[in-house]
Each structure stands twice: as structure tokens, then as C-alpha cells.
Amino acid sequence: MDTSLNLDRDGLRRNRGKILALIITFAIALVMTLYGWTAQCFGMFIVGAMLYMVPHMSGVDNKKLLGVYGIAFLAVALSIGVGAVAPGVVADNEAPPVDGRFTDIQYGYADGTVEITAFYNGALGDGATIVLLTNDVSGIGFSVNQIYGTNPIEHMFDDIGYDPVTGITVAEGVFELDPDTLHLGQMCVKDADGGYAEKTNSWFLTDAFEGDLLPLCLTGTFMTLAYVMIIFFTILIFSSLMRSRLVKARDQMEKEGRLYPVGYGRCDNCHAIVLPGEVNCRKCGAYIDRPDEMKPDKVEMYTCSECGAEVTADALTCPKCGSDFEETIETEYVAPAPEPVRIGIVSCPECGTPLPSDSEFCPRCGKDLK
């Protein structure tokens, strides 16, 4: 069965369903990736498996074509991610957030240092303090949940004071940050036990970054897509190996006469699977008509004298034309045994010796008895 795609005019007409499945799957997987579905392992698996399974179930079984299809998806998603999505993630998250009890966060960058002033609604508990957590960003993916970098680094504020009149705690600090590294910041309260609470959303300290975003966007989007492609090509390679083994096993079974070649292994009436040597379909009972060169050479089969159909040795009627077969028993002819000839006894007229009646002379005296 030819499952490849022919892209001439007639081929496009015949393979419209397959081409449509490729296009729709490509578009859905691309949208899911660009909108951050691949931020979780489950989402990566869904996208990678869908890229292979949907076209395969639609009849696209050309492994080289599917391989090119996967590479094309990688190229398109990477281009859009680097050119638009990843920079958009930075642009949407570069302002200090106002979350929970942190009512305002102000910061400014000058001479390699960042000065931050944070306003916290309420008083801190005993032993608690306000800290800034920063991550050194090494890659930016398709969403804020696909940021790659170092573990959080803790920065302590120099001055933290509570104003009982306003009920606001103000934290002020000056921190040195590498201007060649993009940092992701997050404000939180650290309690006396060392745990973090009242965390804000993260934001990019872009004012303190003097480098280029493009390498970070390229690294992050490629790392995200790499996991999707690993899943896709793992399924593709595994299925190719399994199919190769199945094809070899089928070829061997065809050589041994245990399977019909592809296209002849199903009933013409109900399309149920039929095996060599079967005269009638096990499902619908229809006669299985196959070319002579495909019929197994078995001594227990003979040919109907009326229509030439294969017939088993114990059949009483032809499964194709319905002719009745008379049972004939061939026996070897045996001639009847001759009747025994009875011979009388006479005496020799010369010497009286008893002799058979058909004797021509007497063996004792030599008398001629003719």
C-alpha cells in the first residue's frame, strides 16, 4: 500500500485529506507552543505526540516526509519565538508588579547598581524581613513559565522601617548587578524560620541590562522546542523500527504461504481477514477467489470440474458453483478363484496299480493308457 504523498495535480486531488491533516496539525501544534502549552512536561508530550500521531492516523506514513515535517515545525516555531514571542514575554513583564501586600515597588539603575524601594502594607512579624530574589536569566521561552536561569539569589535590604501612622513598611536597598546579565527579580517576605511568603510575580530588570536579548530568546525557545522534537523523533524512530520488523515478519510469512500479499488478504465481500488455504470467508461465508499463483500447494485440495474452484478433499458440494460431488470408491479388481477340478482313481489293466483317471501310462509296468 502506497502511503506517500504525490504532489502532482492528480496526487493533490487524491491526497487532499492527508495534506489537510498535515496543515491543521501543524497550525494547532504551533498555536499551542506559542501560547506556552509546552511550559509543562505534559504539554510538551501532547504537542510532540500530536505532530506525529494525527498525520499518521490520516494515512501519512512516509517517514522521510514526517521527518521533514518535524524539522519545518521547528524552524517556523523557532523563528516566531525568537522574533516575536520571547521578546514579548520580556516586554509584558518588565514593570515591577503590585501584588498582594506589596503596594508599590520602585527601582532605578545607575553605575552598575540597582536602587529599590518597596512598600509593604502592614507590619512584619517577629524576626521577619523583606528580601529581593534575583535569577540570572540564560534563556527566554514562549511564556514567563519558560524562563531558564540560575537558582534564586537572595539580596537583603539595608533599611527597613515601619510607619505606624500609615501602616506601611518601607524597605530600601542598593544592590550591585552585572549589567551584561539579564536578571529576573521577585519581592518576598522571609520569616524567622527562613521560609518565603508574600511573594510577588517576577519581573525583568531590563533597565539594569546592557546586553542583547536575541541570544537569550534563541536559547530559551530552542531549549523548549528541543524537548518537543525529542518526543516527536523518538516516536517517529521507534515506530519506524517497529514497522520495519513487522514488514520483515510479514514478508517471511508470505514466503511460507501463511499470509496473502497486501491487497489480497481480505474478503472481497466483507473485507474480513482471510488466510491462504481458506475456501470460504469465516465471517460472511463468501467464496475466496484468488489467482492460481497465490494458492497454496496442498495435496488435500483439488479443483471443481465445473468451475475450477479450489475444493477441499472432504467437500460434498462446490463452495463457488454449488455442484454436488459423488463419492467414488476405487477398488482393485480381484479375479475369482477357479473351481477345484475333481480327479478320479482307476487301476492299471496290466498290473492293477491305482492311478489317476487322467494318467497316460502306468509308471509301474509302462502300460500305455491312451
169: domain CATH number is 2.60.40.10
Are 172 and 136 in a shared domain? yes
pLDDT tens digits for 265-314? 888 888 888 888 788 888 888 888 777 767 665 556 677 878 878 777 77
CA–CA separation, 273 and 282 (whole Å): 9
CA distance 299 to 301: 5
Write the Ramachandran bin of 122: left for phi over 0, alpha for psi from -120 to 50, otherwise beta.
Answer: left
Same domain, 21 and 87: yes
Whether residue 363 is predicted with pLDDT greater than 80 in this model: the reply is: no
What confidence score (pLDDT) does residue 41 get? 87
- pLDDT for position 280: 85
Measured distance CA(370)–CA(364) in Å, rounded: 16
Q: How confident is the model at residue 223 (pLDDT cuts 50, 70, 90)?
A: very high
Contact 221, 87 (CB under 8 A): no
User: Considering 199, 216, 233, which residue would you say is the last residue of a domain?
Assistant: 216
Kindly state whether residues 68 and 166 are assigned to the same domain.
Answer: no
Q: Are residues 170 and 202 in the same domain?
A: yes
Looking at the chain, the whole-number percentage of residues with pLDDT higher than 70 is: 88
Rg (C-alpha) for the chain, rounded Å, is 48
Question: Residue 71: inside a domain, yes or no?
Answer: yes
Do residues 160 and 76 both lie within one domain?
A: no
Structural domains of the chain, count: 2
* pLDDT score of 99: 78
Average pLDDT of span 158-187: 92
Q: Is residue 338 part of a domain?
A: no
362 within domain boundaries: no
Per-residue pLDDT reduced to its tens digit, 89-143: 999 998 888 877 899 999 888 877 889 999 999 999 888 999 999 999 999 999 9
Q: 287-301: string of b/e by CB count within 10 Å (b at 16+)?
A: bbebeeeebeeeeee
pLDDT digits (tens, 9 = 90+) for 19-69: 899 999 999 999 999 998 888 889 999 999 999 999 988 888 888 999 999
Q: What is the pLDDT of residue 169?
A: 94
Give domain status of residue 153, yes or no.
Answer: yes
Helix (H) or strand (E) holding 115: strand 113-121
Q: What domain range is 201 assigned to?
A: 102-216
Confidence label for 219 from pLDDT (cuts 50, 70 and 90): very high
The closest alpha carbon to 149, from 140, 162, 157, 161, belongs to 140
| pLDDT score recorded for residue 329 | 38
Structural domain contains residue 160: yes
> Does one domain contain both 108 and 85?
no
Helix (H) or strand (E) holding 172: strand 168-176
Domain C-terminal end among 246, 267, 291 = 246
pLDDT tier at 9 (50, 70, 90 boundaries)? Answer: low
Work out the average pLDDT over 309-321: 78
Is there a single domain that holds both residue 106 and residue 211? Answer: yes
Whether 322 is covered by a domain: the verdict is: no
Between CA 204 and CA 184 the distance in angstroms is 5
pLDDT at 76 over 70: yes
Per-residue pLDDT, averaged over 246-263, amounts to 81
Residue 221 resides in a domain: yes
Q: Is the pLDDT of residue 231 over 90?
A: yes
Q: What strands, in cross-sheet order, belong to the sheet with 159-163? A: 102-110, 113-121, 168-176, 159-163
Q: How far apart are CA 103 and CA 362, in angstroms?
A: 158
Average confidence score pLDDT of the chain? 84
Q: Are residues 117 and 191 part of one domain? A: yes
Residue 227 and residue 79 share a domain: yes
Q: Write down the pLDDT at residue 324.
A: 82
Residues 95, 96, 99, 104: what is their CA dihedral angle, to the nearest 10 degrees? Answer: -120
User: pTM for the full model?
Assistant: 0.65
Residues 193 and 240 occupy one common structural domain: no
Residue 39 belongs to some domain of the structure: yes
pLDDT number for residue 336: 61
DSSP string, 289-302: ---GGGS---TTEE
For the ranges 73-77, 195-199, 233-237, 352-356, the lowest mean pLDDT is seen at: 352-356
Fill in the DSSP letter of residue 208: G
pLDDT value of residue 291? 75
> 211 and 112, same structural domain?
yes
Looking at residue 349, its amino acid is P
- DSSP-derived 3-state class of residue 31: helix
C-alpha 90/C-alpha 203 separation (Å) is 8
Q: What percent of the chain has pLDDT over 90?
A: 41
Q: Nearest 5°: CA angle at 18, between 15 and 23?
A: 125
Q: What is the DSSP string of 52-65?
A: HHHHHHTT---HHH
Q: Mark whether 133 and 72 lie in a shared domain.
A: no
pLDDT band at 193 (very low <50, low <70, confident <90, very high): confident
pLDDT of residue 306: 82
